Chain A
Amino acid sequence: MGKTMIQKIIQRASGKEVQVGDRVWCRIDLSTARDFGGPNCVLQFDEVTDKGKVWDPDKIAFTFDLQAPAHAEKVANNQKIIRDFAKRQGITKVFDVNWGIGQHVLLENGLVKPGDVILGTDSHMNLLGGVGAFATGVGNTDIVASWINGTLWFRVPETMKITVSGTFAKGVCMRDFLTFLVGKLGADGMFFKAVEFYGETIEKSTLADRITLCSMVTEMSGKVGLIMPNGEVLDWLVKRAGMEVLDRVQTLKADPDAVYSDDLHFDVTGLEPMASCPDAPDNVKTVREAAGAHIDQVHIGSCSNGRFEDIAAAFEVLKAANFQISDSVRTIITPSTREVMKQCAEAGFIQKFLEAGVIFTNPTCSLCTAEHYGVLPGGDVGVSTTNRNFIGKVGKGSHTYLVSPMTAMASAVKGVLTDPRDILK
């Protein structure tokens, strides 16, 4: 019987033939922690090992993204705990507050290959499945265990197969498909499963789109979404991560007779801009249905939609509106990494955004925590390209619509929730 991608990845990492439901110990290729969760890992590791040595300093990385740079003493002290630990342990892969969102930084720095097993203290680690890696968010105890012996236990999941065909209409993009999918399948629609994405729409998609797609698997309770790199994405990845990528793509792709728990097909032709309405990602409507809703703030960024292509899409909407945004909303754009910020500068976007009155920030997770800039006061409504809008997530009593970068910018232009097709005529 054939194997799915996740089964092959776990077989490579565990050295065992596996079936769905097996519990196995996998070798870890990269175990990471960030400025949140990271200090807890360090303190716990020092406690349980009596300040012992990590299993392999070259396979550990730290990223600083949730509150970068530090805005409070407690956070600054937490960041120092990580820096001191890295120095003591000889860990050199430390991407400090000037780098950006962890998974994106790891990817840009060539530390991610298809089939790698990667851990991190971020539940959206699995966006690295966009290049075929099995990355997963875990708590500090899992990280500490991996630092001790370089392995961690996993249950081999079932795999759902999703095939996507068709071409997006103007003003519609991968984020809209994802929002549609979250609405269709629900918050636990991929419960504990791995997901493989196929079809012409996926094959033609950019790395940014694949990241969006795989990051939102978390919002359907999936373990990881996997796309084997092809075309331009494969070329990009080989340049960053080396020739071994090509071998991995061949050896770890799913067998033609692999067994899937579900086989779903979607056509994005005719899909409209979609919104996750307050207060849950799976409370989905078309933007048309929810249009005109009062809003106070617009935010474009996050690990889901903070790539250059995402910001470029927002820029096109702003351009179509003659670079005018509404005075009634606060508009914030946060690139995912320094590299993305540099691309935005080179393209001339930042100048235009600033002239329009947009707040263009340093690369960070920004609005994914209520302890960073852009926090909403009670009663305010935000529009955001982040991945969660749970009750009060970015401020008690506030509410958020999750949308695509185009819908977010269209809403910034009009000052109310707006379908981008009204502007991109």
Chain B
Amino acid sequence: MEQNVLRGKAWVFTDDVDTDLIYHNKYLAETDPKKMAQYSFEYYPGKEKFAKEAKPGDFVVAGRNFGTGSSREHAVYCLKELGIPVVLAESFARIYYRNAINNGYPVLFVKGLSDAIKEGKIQDGDELEVNISTGEIKDLTNGHTFHGDAVTDLEKDIMASGGLIEYLKAQAAKK
């Protein structure tokens, strides 16, 4: 299988998943990103065991405005540390989007995902195949396909460097 084609199980979330549901403010005093993983989605009703049960390679699948709310970068670190390779969502909240890009953490904007989730076309436990390069997403369980758009412009360059700090270092080295 191509390196850019990933397979894993879907964990499906609604629209407007806020940062307290992803990583609750109760644990904001944590400063070690590695320790943040264990708190992922602890406050999301029905997904309290996500951190224990999600396997590296599984996907977070959500509707509109994923990561709305706080500026906490913990909400990106926790999923990255758990080994979730990419977050698929109809759209991302502004600060969450920045934090993901700045950490070189892939996000895909997937048109129609919000409605597909509401209509049950993509469900918890579905086996997904995601091509990070082309944005093609196949739900192998029920045959539905989706298309995700990767980031463009400056964000693409920051992602290619592996994150904002790495990007700045690379730019400084060029001078």
Q: Interface residues, chain A, CB within 8 Å of chain B?
A: 23, 36-37, 39-40, 43, 48, 66-67, 72, 74-75, 78, 81, 120-123, 137-142, 144-145, 148-149, 153, 155, 187-188, 191-192, 221, 223, 280, 368-371, 388, 390-393, 396
In the bound complex, how far is the Cα of B25 from the Cα of A9, in angstroms? 32
Q: Are B93 and A141 in contact (CB under 8 A)?
A: no
Which residues of chain A have C-beta atoms less than 8 A from B173's C-beta? none
Interface size of B by CB at 8 A reads 39
In the bound complex, how far is the Cα of B92 from the Cα of A206, in angstroms? 34
A77 nearest in chain B by CB position: B29
Q: Count chain B CB atoms within 10 A of each CB in A75, A122, A142, A223 and give the residue with the most.
A: A142
In the bound complex, how far is the Cα of B74 from the Cα of A121, in angstroms? 12
A-B pairs, 3 with minimum CB distance: A139-B73, A137-B71, A23-B154
Q: Are A138 and B164 in contact (CB under 8 A)?
A: no
Q: Count chain B CB atoms within 10 A of each CB in A23, A139, A148, A280 and give the residue with the most.
A: A139
Which residues of chain B have C-beta atoms less than 8 A from A43's C-beta? 31
Please tell me which one of the listed residues A23, A78, A396 contacts residue B153 in the complex, with CB atoms under 8 A apart. Answer: A23
Q: Interface residues, chain B, CB within 8 Å of chain A?
A: 15-16, 18, 20-21, 24-26, 28-29, 31, 43-45, 64-65, 68-73, 76, 91, 93-95, 98-99, 102-103, 153-155, 158, 163-165, 168
Please tell me which one of the listed residues B43, B76, B95, B165 contacts residue A145 in the complex, with CB atoms under 8 A apart. Answer: B165
B32 nearest in chain A by CB position: A43
Q: Are B65 and A188 in contact (CB under 8 A)?
A: yes
Q: Are A142 and B29 in contact (CB under 8 A)?
A: no
A-B contact count (CB 8 A): 119
Which residues of chain A have C-beta atoms less than 8 A from B31's C-beta? 39-40, 43, 78, 81
Which residues of chain B have C-beta atoms less than 8 A from A74's C-beta? 29
Q: Are A391 and B45 in contact (CB under 8 A)?
A: yes
Which residues of chain B have C-beta atoms less than 8 A from A121's C-beta? 71-72
With known contacts A188-B16, A371-B29, A223–B165 Cβ distance under 8 A: no
Q: Are B28 and A192 in contact (CB under 8 A)?
A: no
Which residues of chain B have C-beta atoms less than 8 A from A39's C-beta? 31
A227 to chain B, nearest CB (A): 20
With known contacts A122-B71, A396-B43, A221–B65 Cβ distance under 8 A: yes
Q: Are B26 and A370 in contact (CB under 8 A)?
A: yes
Q: Are A138 and B65 in contact (CB under 8 A)?
A: no
A259 to chain B, nearest CB (A): 21
Q: Are B68 and A187 in contact (CB under 8 A)?
A: yes
Which residues of chain B have C-beta atoms less than 8 A from A72's C-beta? 29
B44 nearest in chain A by CB position: A391
B26 nearest in chain A by CB position: A370
A387 nearest in chain B by CB position: B69
Since A40-B31, A122-B71, A371-B28 are in contact, a sample of 14 more A-B pairs with Cβ atoms closer than 8 Å, ordered by chain A residue number, is A67-B29, A121-B72, A138-B98, A139-B72, A141-B99, A141-B165, A142-B102, A148-B168, A187-B15, A221-B65, A221-B93, A369-B26, A391-B21, A391-B44
A215 to chain B, nearest CB (A): 13
B155 nearest in chain A by CB position: A23
Please tell me which one of the listed residues B20, B73, B155 contacts residue A40 in the complex, with CB atoms under 8 A apart. Answer: B73
Please tell me which one of the listed residues B64, B69, B71, B99 contacts residue A388 in the complex, with CB atoms under 8 A apart. Answer: B69
Q: Are B20 and A393 in contact (CB under 8 A)?
A: yes
With known contacts A137-B95, A223-B94, A369–B25 Cβ distance under 8 A: yes
